[in-house]
Amino acid sequence: MKEKVIFLQKKTDLNLHRIMCFVGGFMGAYAILIRSDNLGSAQTSNMIYIVLQLLGRDLPSVLIRLGGLFLYFAAIELTVLLEKRTNISLKKYALLTEGICLFILGFLPLTIDPVLGLYPIFFMMSTQWCVFHGTAGYNSSTIFSTNNFKQFSLALGNYVSEKDEASHEKMLLFGNSLLFFHIGVAVSFFICRFFQVKASFLAIIPLAFALYLVFKEERLDEKFSELSAQTV
């Protein structure tokens, strides 16, 4: 019975990771398609633009981008504070936060500055990165793909060379992350084509499934604790 619960725990955690990768891909494509090729999942390009626009003396654009950087930073700090100072479920907090941000996004017109239009994405993707950052003992980002691709490639090379089970498992895990992320990208392409800005509303659907899995995880954890106590 205990082994069955462990199996279900691992399966639920993996499915939750897949859904969040899907959401990460969906929102990455949404930001690019709806907000003039600007990516809201990371800050590298945003910080580069801050320096370039500062040197170019484009102060209004610098201030807007600094606002986005602050939101990304604030989401990280808030997550750390909640983890250290409270007992709330960070996964539930993250999903609720993302749902609110998705709802706000649907009402931001296309006519506003594209970077301003990314503000909710900056906050929600930063939150997601802090809370949903891997599965099965591996750090695997659910909001961007570069390191996932690197780890998949390394694992593939090692497996081809050595045929070891650990590399095979790692290859499958990171391959899963890449697959579901880019399924999210593909779905976003079609949804954004038909719904434009309001495509963000439809991303709430996978979040609802993710919330269900979080509750399922909690029930399985309770069951595991009960079984562990019985065997002591």
Place of tokens 């990208």: 185
Domain of 27 in residue numbering reads as: 2-227
- CATH value at residue 214: 1.20.1250
Q: Is 209 inside a domain boundary?
A: yes
Exposure on the CB side of residue 76, measured as CA atoms within 13 A? 13
Q: Is 232 inside a domain boundary?
A: no
Q: How many residues does the chain have?
A: 232
Q: Is 196 inside a domain boundary?
A: yes
Number of domains the chain is built from: 1
Give the containing element (helix H, strand E) for 139. strand 138-139
Q: Is 208 inside a domain boundary?
A: yes
Q: Is 173 inside a domain boundary?
A: yes
With beta carbons less than 8 A apart as the criterion, state whether 210 and 95 touch. yes
With beta carbons less than 8 A apart as the criterion, state whether 25 and 184 touch. yes
Its sign, for the CA torsion 85, 86, 87, 93, is negative
Residue by residue, pLDDT tens for the chain (232 residues) are: 778 888 889 999 999 999 999 999 999 999 999 998 888 898 999 999 999 999 999 999 999 999 999 999 999 999 999 999 999 999 999 999 999 999 999 999 999 999 999 999 999 999 999 999 989 889 999 999 999 999 999 999 999 998 888 899 999 999 999 999 999 999 999 999 999 999 999 999 999 999 999 999 999 888 877 777 776 5
Q: Is 199 inside a domain boundary?
A: yes
